[in-house]
Structure 1
Amino acid sequence: MDKPKYPREHLHAALAASVPEWLEHADLLEDLGELVDQVFFASLATEEGENLRFHVVVAGKKKLEEVTDTEWPDAIPEQEQELAWTVMRIEPHRVDPKALVKLAGATEFGRTALVLDQRNEDGQLWIFGVARRNPRTNGGRVLVVSTSAPGAVSVYFEGRRIMRYERGLLVPPVVDVFSEAGVVTRAIRSSIPEFLARMKNSLFSPHNVGERVFSRLVRGMRATGHGGSVLVLPAVPDGEAAPKPKYRLLRADVLAVQAQAYVDVHTERFKAQFGAEDPNEFPFERWKQQEDVAEANLEAAVDDIARLTAPDGALLMGPEFAVLGAGYMVTGTGTGKVLDIFEASDAEGKRVSEKPYALEQHGARHKAAATFVSQSGGFAFIASEDGPLKVLVRHEDRILLWRVELPEY
């Protein structure tokens, strides 16, 4: 068994493996190591009887206000990338566990982070403010140190986790099922064929809308704190076979309408910009404001729908982002045939567990999701109240399961 270590003892190896350029910041390395240890100990503290959760962001040699998105570095020049953070500066405070605990209340877990930077006089890290990440970006080339639970520390770079420390040991990486092309992304895209067909011939449309919608939906489901599940039908039966959720929406296309509106304004903006006679005269700010409003409307719709996972039963969806209703109870969970489930460790589902997943160790929600996927051929997301998120997809004659990890900021 590996001997437990403090988080800082793992940081150098994580940086060397994922972002070796940060090793060039020799003056920062010692401070970063001390930071992850301080965040670790701060996460063990309590404020008014509750453990606190932290996000801190370190930009390195660049001011955080100048950091841009780097998701498409080959397609979009850096000078045209969106700014990744909005920063509210405060008078500097030296970093220590007490300051982190006191200022944690100024941030909202999952949305904002404390800004750490170096002062030229001493080279040490100080707290300089609070920042909010632009959700359209990956956060850029900065380090984010986060704690999702007491004693659990994660480090992110460009929106992907490069290290997670828990109970004295490193936690193996989890597949990013929403960004790595594979079984899950194909299942999501196959559920919105008409939506994608309308964008097929456009170079200007955001083709990852499906992944973004379901990623935010799952994040919102987790945020309710109640656990829940989202079940997605490949087709909706008619007549007596039609599903009967307890709480039906009067308009099943409420999400589809907002998704299409966002795509339309995004596409039209890029078409107009591409065809402008004088790029310097293009009304970028006006178009950008329209796009921001459309995206905010889409995100608000997803967040509202995610709240429907809180009641007993599942949120039931159909093709083309259709929201059929909440409180749906899967039939046949007692006697129906459930395919064997295998946990996958890669996006394509080529590396799977040798033995079937032990479904019996979980409750009714997991059994219902497995039965649904077996019977319908759809896919399902599950959030336990205190366990990991999971996604189940029928793949040939079995069900594949992935643990889902979402960035904690």
Structure 2
Amino acid sequence: MYNILVVDDEPLICKGLSGLLTASGLDIGQIYTAYNGHEALDYVRMEDIDLLVTDIQMGEMNGIELMQQAKLIKPWVQTIIISAHETFQYAQMAIRLGAKDYLIKPLNSEQFLDSVRNALLKMDKPVPQAEEWLSRGAEQFRMVEPLPDSGERLSRLLHNPAEGDEEQRFIEAEQLGLAGPYFSVIKIKLAIPAEKEPSPDQEEDTRLFRYAALNIVNELLHQEWRAASFYTESLEMALILQWNEAEYAEPNLNKINQLEMLGRSLHHHIHKYLGLLCTVGISQILKGAGFLDVLSRQADKAMLWGGGHGDYHVFYYGDFNWHNYAQDPSTEELTTQSNRIVESAKKYIEENYRQKGLTIHEVARSNHVSPNYLSYLFKKNTGYNLWEYVIKLRMEESKALILNTDLRRYEIAERVGYESPEHFSKIFKKYFGVSPTELKK
């Protein structure tokens, strides 16, 4: 059964859509409602949400921003956008971020339920597991392997900076469909567990694992990214992603966040469907095909850096201050920098947790690292999920205010950073097991 979160700043619309879903007969477990993006993000963080249905124009955080942040928390959450305006720019942006549909208000009930039904069916679509792929044999596998010549030429662009002048590299890139002019490189290194490790005479199995992984990569890239994907080594793949001038200049789209969403989604799906772990290295974004070799080395370095973390798998090159070190940093230096980041984040949260609409992105920006990496470091060093720490501080202060003052519920909610007293009460009861009113009594 699937859990659905409906988000709209008009309570009547939330109630109406929830009623439609409840009576639909679809395979739905829980239906949650939120009246703004910040409330919605709390549900995404705390509940097992499968489908997000959100209005696009809501107060401080619009539906596009909510979709972006929800996917950073859980990349597999699917989204349907609803809007009162048929705005092409918003629709294009939503589809590029992976929205399953873009519906215009007033909503047609059947159209809405068809859209939800289709999104749920795609989630439920059976995907062959690794064993099934291996049992099919290469001749039955539907994946079309990249042409060897194409893969070799793409690899040359990444690994041979001295070969040809800049103009020649530009021509070579254009011939391979890489017009750019902005590029990033993602590399994926597969790790086959011991129980799946093929024997020396089973090279075919290794080849099928590669096929299967590249098939998943291409499915996730389909229609949402302009990219070339290919093998670079036996169990390593590379993706060259590109943006033209208009795409790169699009407002409200953080490209690094998009790359991280893609990286986490790649890792999640490869592990889910193949049972394989992988390490994902993400480069920065640079302008010009002449920098593809630089981007390739950045992705390699990010993966190499990631080797020291057994429980984290997606690494962005820009998350580490490489320029501070003449050579690759030692384990001690990595630890020192990590501790510094976490202490700085704690200080920022302790000073700002009462701020309405505080997001992980703001905390991450203050530390010049990505939200995902900051969340990982924070949990590793403190034992708390980063947002759990925000809630802990808010709940401790609100409890003290309930017990020691005569402030009303809405005043306490306002003081600790919640816009809605009802939402504050839900969080409070989930945290303490009793409502604010019950605690006061």
Q: Which has the higher contact order (CA 8 A, sep 6+)?
A: 1
Larger radius of gyration: 2
Between Structure 1 and Structure 2, the one with more helix by share is: 2
- Give the TM-score range, shorter chain: under 0.3
Between Structure 1 and Structure 2, the one with more strand by share is: 1
- Using structure 1 for the length normalisation, give the TM-score: 0.24
